[in-house]
Amino acid sequence: MVKEEEQVAAFGDSIMSRMHSGGKGSSGSSKPFATEVPSWSESDKKVIESHILDLNKEGHSNAMIGTILRDRFAVPDVRLATGERISQILSRNGISPNYPEDMMNLMRRAQGLIDHLGNNPKDKHNRRQLELCESKIRRLASYYKGVNKVDVDWQYKRDQLRLIVE
């Protein structure tokens, strides 16, 4: 169990995403190793924090905030510039979502599949994808219950999913 948690910490969501596929390993690019903020980037912590709070008020997710900061405000790595993650900055300022972002994305996907299956009841392939998505949600929920990010008595229920997502 400890080894799996270390892998989740090291690779993030890559383990969850490939759990139900035949793929091996993680491919793609990785961020370059850096210990200092580049000289050309914005490095004032208060300015970066105000940008994060403004973008959150506009309704952007944490991942989208990071992308906007990179592209529009020349902040290649928020954690390197401020010493904190975007979610930590938001929670320190009293803004924290009810559910973690990766779990909410999976619940949105499950809701979309449920809606699709309502119109196409014989679509067996997407019914299987819904089962796999719900399995990932339950597995993530048990992890987040252990680290106190989700209530201990919370359970995934398909009929209450629309209320959570909207």
Question: Cα(156)–Cα(133) distance, rounded to whole angstroms?
Answer: 12
pLDDT at 125: 96
* pLDDT higher than 70, residue 11: no
Q: How far apart are CA 124 and CA 138, in angstroms?
A: 21
Site of tokens 């970066």: 48
pTM, to two decimals: 0.74
pLDDT at 163: 87
pLDDT at 12 over 60: no
The distance of Cα 59 from the centroid of its chain, to the nearest Å, equals 15
Whether residue 119 has pLDDT greater than 90: yes
Give me the helix-helix angle, 62-72 and 45-57, nearest 10°. Answer: 130
CB atoms inside a 10 Å sphere around CB 82: 20
Q: Output 18 or 156, whichever has higher pLDDT.
A: 156
Q: For position 50, what pLDDT does the model report?
A: 93
What is the assigned CATH class of domain 98-165? mainly alpha
**Nearest 10 degrees: Cα torsion 135, 133, 26, 38:** -110
Q: Tell me the CA end-to-end span of the chain in Å, nearest whole number.
A: 34
Is residue 3 predicted with pLDDT exceeding 60? no
List pLDDT tens digits, range 79-112.
999 999 999 999 899 888 888 888 999 999 999 9
Mean pLDDT of the chain: 85
Between residues 34 and 111, the one the model is more confident about = 111
DSSP 26-69: --S--PPP-SS--TTS---HHHHHHHHHHHHHTT--HHHHHHHH
Q: Where are the domains of the chain?
A: 45-92, 98-165
